[in-house]
Amino acid sequence: GQQLNQSPQSMFIQEGEDVSMNCTSSSIFNTWLWYKQDPGEGPVLLIALYKAGELTSNGRLTAQFGITRKDSFLNISASIPSDVGIYFCAGRKPGGQNFVFGPGTRLSVLP
Amino acid sequence: GAVVSQHPSRVICKSGTSVKIECRSLDFQATTMFWYRQFPKQSLMLMATSNEGSKATYEQGVEKDKFLINHASLTLSTLTVTSAHPEDSSFYICSARVSGGVTGANVLTFGAGSRLTVL
């Protein structure tokens, strides 16, 4: 069953606004990955997090590994039309081989 | 960076025929690859883990005789959908685990996906 929850499920924002989304779990993870998927394409890695409390940026994107190790956050500043897509979080448990994926947050940017 | 190439990107076939999808790691060796299936507006569902030189590990509910996986080399995994039916129409995506960096931590790199339409 689904082990990761993402919030919000979808969001509509104005161009230029900042965006925040999160990923939560009832289990502890030791790796968090954030991906963006454009329609008809495979997911593309945005940011990887490996330590609790870690804060990592990639351009206008910033992601954080929650201190409890049960959540992660992704922020996008000054959104632009090409930010439109589905954002997935993925986590790997300690000792786990596979990553589990969240259901995604669908982002729409209005001009 | 690590690149995963997936082919074909789109395929249309008749019901009852078989379709093969290839997943290649272009500039690195991948002992483990993963195959996902994605329905419209849904998340990625792991179908199976492909292991080089050994049998694939299938997730619960995935028919191994229908979705044949072969990982004969360190750079190629194939997924064959046998006797395809319209309900098999979906977006199939492969990924490979890429390790590296100081910590040896790994990430998943995805192919561009293959859209299968079964008529």
Mean pLDDT of B59-75: 93
CA atoms in the 13 A half-sphere facing the CB of B45? 15
Q: Which residue of A has its CA nearest to B105?
A: A50
Structure confidence at residue A71 (pLDDT) = 96
Residue A2 has pLDDT above 80, yes or no: no
B90–A contact, CB cutoff 8 A:
no
User: If you count them, how many residues does chain A have?
Assistant: 111
Q: pLDDT confidence of B94, banded at 50, 70, 90?
A: very high
**Torsion of Cα atoms, B108 then A51 then A55 then B93, to 10°:** 10
Q: How far is A41 from chain B (nearest CA, A)?
A: 5
For B5-39, the pLDDT digits (tens) are 999 999 999 999 999 999 999 988 888 999 999 99
Residue B112 has pLDDT above 90, yes or no: yes
Contact A42 B6 (CB under 8 A): yes
The 10 Å CB-count burial string (b at 16+, else e) for A19-28 is bebbbbbeee
For A34-49, the pLDDT digits (tens) are 999 999 999 999 999 9
Q: How far is A42 from chain B (nearest CA, A)?
A: 4
Residue B89 burial class via C-beta count within 10 angstroms: exposed 0-12, middle 13-18, buried 19 and up? middle
Q: What 3 state SS string does chain A have?
A: CCCEEEECCEEEEECCCCEEEEEEECCCCCEEEEEEECCCCCCEEEEEECCCCCEEEECCEEEEECCCCCEEEEEECCCCHHHCEEEEEEEECCCCCCCEECCCEEEEEEC
Structure confidence at residue A97 (pLDDT) = 77
**Chain A residues with beta carbon closer than 8 angstroms to that of B109:** 45
Give the separation between CA B54 and CA A6, rounded to whole angstroms: 35
Structure confidence at residue B100 (pLDDT) = 60
Structure confidence at residue B83 (pLDDT) = 96
Q: What 3 state SS string does chain B have?
A: CCCEEEECCEEEECCCCCEEEEEEECCCCCCEEEEEEECCCCCCEEEEEEECCCCCEECCCCCCCCEEEEEEECCEEEEEECCCCHHHCEEEEEEEEEECCCCCCEEEEECCCEEEEEC
Q: Are A28 and A93 in contact (CB under 8 A)?
A: yes
Residue B98 main-chain phi, psi, to 5 deg? -115, 125
Percent of chain A beyond pLDDT 70? 98
For A46-77, the pLDDT digits (tens) are 999 999 999 999 999 999 999 999 999 999 99
A101–B contact, CB cutoff 8 A:
yes
Mean pLDDT of B55-64: 94
Average pLDDT, chain B: 91
